[in-house]
Amino acid sequence: MSLEGITNSIHSWLNTTFNPTLALLLEFVIVGLCAIGLFAVLGLVLVIMERKVSAYMQIRRGPNRVGPGGSLQTLADTIKLTMKEGLTPDGADKFLFNLAPFVVLTVAMLILAPIAFAKGFQMWDVNIGVLYVSAVSSVSIIGILMAGWASNNKYSLLGAMRSGAQIVSYELSAGLSIISMVVLTGSLQISDIIASQQNGWWIFKGHIPALIAFVIFIIAVTAETNRAPFDLAEAESELTAGFHTEYSGMKFALFFLAEYVNIFIVCAIGATLFFGGWMPFHIGNWTAFNHMMDYIPSSIWFLGKTFFLIFLIMWFRWTFPRLRIDQLLNLEWKYLFPISMFNLLLITLMAINGWHF
Amino acid sequence: MFLKKYIADVFGAVRSLLKGMKMTGYYFTHRKEIITQNYPDHRETMKLPERFRGEVVMPHDEKNEHACTGCTACELACPNGTIKIITKFDISPEGKKKKALDTFIYHLELCTMCNLCIEACPTDAIKMAQNFEHSVYDRSKLTKKLNTPGSKIREGIE
């Protein structure tokens, strides 16, 4: 009983019971509800995970009062946030102010579309999947700028501007490292990229250049999701909370949720490109070993890899000190960008000559 | 030369970042390193560091004697007027008058636990205690008299 089987049986049942148009519309509704459900669960799980990870890394205990081991802490926090007043400041641009959190969350939802969660369990296998992801993910900066501008607060605006400069510049090296994987695969479609890793993940097949591309990718997406050590957009010590200073209650919670969902999404993309998405761990032609690995469900493989990358990003956050804005732009334009250009050349050479496995 | 420095920079940065991650990774996997104590649950077995500063106390020995000469060095050392010392004159058996402590008034509500009074004391008459549960319902309860009633200075302390 795989996820693919469940979706197929639901699909055929809907098509035999209703006419095709209605069935399609019902499928849209089901998929939308699943996406919202996934968002809620991700928000709860990732926040408690972050708090526990940070606590253990700083030799603390973390939340340990609500539920067993503090596992219900985020549920309690969510209830608290929903009961709070969603205040709109007097001087704010009311329409943009209230629209901004939804823009950010909608973008996060849109990127969910081409991600393959398990074998044959994907919302939309578009043929330009990777391009779609990198194009849509840069829309979220509009939501952040909107929030910063509409708040009518100098700290919010400063935070939003910093965030803009940061996302625009780090988009480049993230894009280049994605392209280097596309060069190896020869396709932009997510299902093709996963299928090409049938005999080994790209991070192993692509030698050291693939490893460099992965490191650059993980640095760039940490910067793109505005997390420490690149959290200049929020910078508690200087800008109180950056672009969401003026937000409260559920509107603040939406920004918070969008941040964590974005982390999940970029890690899912990273897992797809470098670690083969839902593809089990295969080594070349060892059929016996490969069959054994196939017994573990593909959804477990996908979630395991994604959560490993999320843990890696959390590890960064609780270890490294924050960069200054000029150091941040130095790192991108003087180091990551030239290195990823050079790396892309190497990988292209490798792909042309077939030096990878 | 520029390229050499550039590459050395990149490798140095990666090495130092990995060093930091090794440290936090060690703490993450070794729960025994956790220094937080479950305060209200383990109140009896709670361990405070030796140099923890809770409040100023004046130790008395079993004969109800302390080591304070009433020299007011602590009062002078205190940056925010926490300590007030009232002195009296004792008459010794030979009929000589000698300055001695009457009342040592300590305002806990003003104290910042800076430890300057303990450092200033020439006879080590006062020290920092480990008690930190100071909440009371009335502010006046925080003004304390440190020397116990009827106490006197220990023999041989000048």
Q: Is A33 helix (H, G, I), strand (E, B) or coil?
A: helix
| pLDDT band of B19, cuts 50, 70, 90 | very high
Give B103's strand partners.
B86
With beta carbons under 8 A apart, name residues in chain A contacting B34: 56, 59-61
B 19-48 residues inside an 8 A Cβ radius of A: 20-21, 23-25, 27-28, 31, 33-36, 38
- Give residue A1's pLDDT: 59
In order along its 357 residues, chain A shows pLDDT tens digits of: 577 778 888 888 888 888 888 888 888 888 889 888 888 888 888 988 888 888 888 888 888 888 787 888 888 888 888 888 878 888 888 888 888 888 888 888 888 888 888 887 788 888 888 888 888 888 888 888 888 888 888 888 888 888 888 888 888 888 888 888 888 888 888 888 888 888 778 887 877 888 888 989 998 888 888 777 887 766 666 677 777 788 877 888 888 888 888 889 889 988 888 888 788 887 777 777 777 777 888 888 888 899 999 999 989 888 888 888 788 888 888 888 888 998 899 888 888 887 776
For residue B40, give how far its alpha carbon lies from the nearest alpha carbon of chain A (Å). Answer: 12
Q: Which of B2, B16, B24 to mutate to test the interface with A (most CBs of A within 10 A)?
A: B24
Residue A346: CA atoms inside 13 Å, Cβ hemisphere, count?
A: 15
Q: Is A198 helix (H, G, I), strand (E, B) or coil?
A: coil
* Predicted confidence (pLDDT) at residue B65 exceeds the cutoff of 80: yes
- Give residue B44's pLDDT: 79
Considering chain B, what percentage of its residues have pLDDT values greater than 90? 2
Looking at the partner chain, which of A315, A320, A335 has a beta carbon nearest the beta carbon of B25? A315
With beta carbons under 8 A apart, name residues in chain B contacting A53: 28
**B32, closest residue in chain A (CA to CA):** A59
pLDDT in tens, B89-104: 877 777 777 788 888 8
Question: Rounded CA gap, B36 and B122, in Å?
Answer: 36
Q: Which of A319, A333, A334 to mutate to test the interface with B (most CBs of B within 10 A)?
A: A319
Which residues have C-beta within 8 Å of that of residue A56, sequence separation ≥ 6?
Answer: A62, B27, B28, B31, B34
- Give residue B137's pLDDT: 92
What's phi and psi for A336, nearest 5 deg?
-60, -45
Selection from A110, A212, A228 nearest residue A166 by Cα: A228
Looking at the partner chain, which of B10, B21, B36 has a beta carbon nearest the beta carbon of A60? B36
- The distance of Cα A18 from the centroid of its chain, to the nearest Å, equals 36
Would the CB atoms of B21 and A59 count as touching at under 8 Å? no
For residue A45, give how far its alpha carbon lies from the nearest alpha carbon of chain B (Å). Answer: 18
Would the CB atoms of B34 and A60 count as touching at under 8 Å? yes
Helix axes A154-185, A337-353, angle to 10 degrees: 20
Residue B95 DSSP code: S
**End-to-end CA gap in chain B:** 72
Mean pLDDT of B109-126: 88
| Beta-carbon pairs below 8 A across chains A and B | 36
- Which residues of A make CB contacts under 8 Å with B? 53, 56-61, 64, 315-316, 318-320, 335, 339
- Give residue A235's pLDDT: 65
What's phi and psi for A280, nearest 5 deg?
-65, 170
- Give residue A237's pLDDT: 67
Would the CB atoms of A315 and B36 count as touching at under 8 Å? no
Selection from B14, B141, B123, B116 nearest residue B66 by Cα: B123
Question: Rounded CA gap, A304 and B17, in Å?
Answer: 25
Selection from A247, A254, A241, A257 nearest residue A85 by Cα: A247
Question: Rounded CA gap, A122 and A37, in Å?
Answer: 16
Find out whether B120 and B82 touch, Cβ atoms under 8 Å: no
Would the CB atoms of B27 and A315 count as touching at under 8 Å? no
| pLDDT band of B133, cuts 50, 70, 90 | confident
Strands B65-66 and B152-153: parallel
- Give residue A236's pLDDT: 67
Find out whether B131 and B54 touch, Cβ atoms under 8 Å: yes
Question: Rounded CA gap, A99 and A102, in Å?
Answer: 6
Question: What residue type is assigned to position B130 of the chain?
Answer: Q
| Mean pLDDT estimate for chain B | 85
- Give residue A233's pLDDT: 67
Q: Which residues of B47-72 are buried (b: 16+ CB within 10 A; e: fewer)?
A: eeeeeebebbebebeeeeebbbbbbb
